[in-house]
């Protein structure tokens, strides 16, 4: 087990390094003027001397590989640089916004997992019946609808027409300590996140359960007089949990990407919105901070899922050492 963990950690470090290098190069080679992020509209009125000095102060006159070497050296020490736009350390900017993303992502993953298992179980218990057909077809339909389209429809209905839910922000002004107000602002973004992934996971759970019901040990359980509900709750669900964990970890990047789009649409002040803004204004340090944080979460999530899955099913550990 220790060798397995060490191997996965090495792969994780290499992946994060490659991700940081790729993100750094792509962001710096993208067209645009980073001085706009620092000086705003005044960047266009800078004299040649002032522009050259500003570029030199930001070390943008150095070769890209040199800039990356300086950045990675400081990043290892915990220094992610200074945000051009927010005029403060990147680490502090992320610390302010990360809790909002954590609550949104954490709740969406937890509720999606619970609801998908529940719907998959209900659908499997009613295989071939009307309820099963309704759940599977409706789930497939929801999975096919783009998240941004659902977001716009919900904003139109509940914010513009009915005016019963907020369309942006994380809390009302002056109510940052009001938990209920924060939950109130989470309703629409959370709904979009769950709708976008519930259908796929619930169908996955249903199909996995039905596959397990064809195994020999299930036939033996039925011969003992156990009901279908007792059989499913005691045997297949436990056996398919490693598959569910692996699927969730593999889909973590998709979940985060969807969450970032939701944050941008609902003007939800999280890391996703920061990444979009930093890319727009060429705030390289903040963009790198957001990208690396996202990459680390995805890679570590995959690492943790591998370890948990190998503990549940040792065969996966042996395959991972090949």
Does residue 271 lie in a domain region?
yes
The label of the residue with tokens 């369309």 reads 167
In Å, what is the CA distance from 259 to each residue of 195, 256, 263, 297? 12, 5, 6, 13
Residue pLDDT, tens place only, 241-297: 777 777 777 677 778 878 888 888 898 888 888 888 888 878 888 888 888 888 888
**Closest Cα partner for 35 from 283, 291, 208, 307?**
283
Residue pLDDT, tens place only, 184-213: 999 999 999 888 888 888 888 888 888 877
Which pLDDT score, from 0 to 100, does residue 125 have?
Answer: 82
CATH number at 237 reads 1.10.3720.10
Token pair recorded at residue 241: 């949990």
Domain span holding position 109:
94-282
Reduce the DSSP state of residue 28 to 3 states and report it: helix
CB contact burial 146-184 (16+ within 10 A = b; e otherwise):
ebeebbeebbeebbeeeeeebbeebbeeeeeeeeebbeb
CB contact burial 220-259 (16+ within 10 A = b; e otherwise):
ebeeeebeeeebbeebbbebbbbbbbbbbbebbbebbebb
- Specify the range with the lowest mean pLDDT, choosing from 124-138, 146-160, 189-203, 221-235: 221-235
Does residue 41 lie in a domain region?
no
Does residue 241 lie in a domain region?
yes
Phi, psi of 243 (to 5 degrees): -65, -40
The secondary structure of residue 213, as a DSSP letter, is T
CB contact burial 92-107 (16+ within 10 A = b; e otherwise):
ebbeebbebbebbbeb
Quick one: 73 exposed, middle or buried, by C-beta within 10 A (0-12, 13-18, 19+)? exposed
Residue pLDDT, tens place only, 294-319: 888 877 777 777 776 666 655 555 55
Residue 131 CB contacts under 8 Å (≥ 6 apart), including other chains: 122, 123
Does residue 23 lie in a domain region?
no
Residue pLDDT, tens place only, 64-108: 888 888 888 888 888 888 888 888 898 999 999 999 998 898 888
| Planar angle of CA 131, 232, 241, nearest 5 degrees | 105
Phi, psi of 128 (to 5 degrees): 80, -10
Bridge partners of 89? Answer: 82
d(CA 271, CA 291): 9
d(CA 33, CA 193): 34
- 11 pLDDT tier (thresholds 50, 70, 90): confident
Total domain count, the chain: 1
Average pLDDT rounded to a whole number, residues 218-243: 71
| pTM of structure | 0.78
- pLDDT mean across residues, the chain: 81
């Amino acid at each position: 087990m220790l060798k397995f963990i060490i191997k996965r950690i090495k792969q994780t470090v290499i992946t994060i390094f490659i991700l940081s290098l790729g993100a750094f190069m792509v962001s710096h080679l993208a067209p645009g003027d980073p001085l706009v992020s620092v000086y705003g509209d005044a960047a266009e009125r800078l004299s040649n001397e002032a522009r050259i000095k500003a570029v030199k102060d930001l070390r943008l006159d150095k070769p890209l590989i040199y800039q990356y070497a300086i950045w990675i050296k400081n990043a290892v020490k915990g220094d992610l640089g200074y945000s051009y736009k927010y005029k403060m350390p990147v680490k502090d900017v992320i610390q302010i916004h990360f809790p909002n993303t954590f609550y949104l992502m954490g709740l969406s993953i937890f509720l999606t997992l619970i609801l998908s298992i529940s719907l998959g179980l209900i659908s499997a218990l009613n295989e071939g019946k009307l309820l099963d057909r309704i759940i599977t077809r409706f789930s497939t339909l929801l999975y096919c609808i783009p998240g941004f389209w659902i977001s716009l429809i919900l904003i139109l209905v509940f914010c513009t027409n009915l005016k019963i839910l907020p369309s942006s922000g994380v809390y009302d002004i002056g109510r940052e300590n009001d938990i209920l107000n924060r939950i109130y602002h989470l309703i629409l973004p959370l709904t979009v996140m769950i709708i976008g992934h519930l259908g796929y996971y619930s169908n996955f759970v249903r199909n996995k359960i039905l596959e397990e019901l064809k195994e020999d040990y299930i036939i033996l359980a039925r011969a003992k007089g156990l009901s279908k509900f007792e059989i499913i709750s005691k045997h297949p669900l436990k056996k398919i949990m490693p598959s569910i964990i692996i699927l969730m970890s593999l889909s973590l990047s998709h979940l985060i990407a969807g969450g970032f789009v939701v944050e941008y649409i609902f003007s939800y002040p999280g890391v996703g919105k920061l990444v979009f803004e930093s890319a727009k204004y060429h705030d390289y340090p903040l963009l790198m901070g957001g990208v690396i944080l996202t990459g680390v979460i995805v890679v570590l999530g995959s690492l943790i899922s591998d370890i948990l899955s190998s503990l549940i099913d040792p065969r996966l550990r042996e395959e991972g050492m090949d």
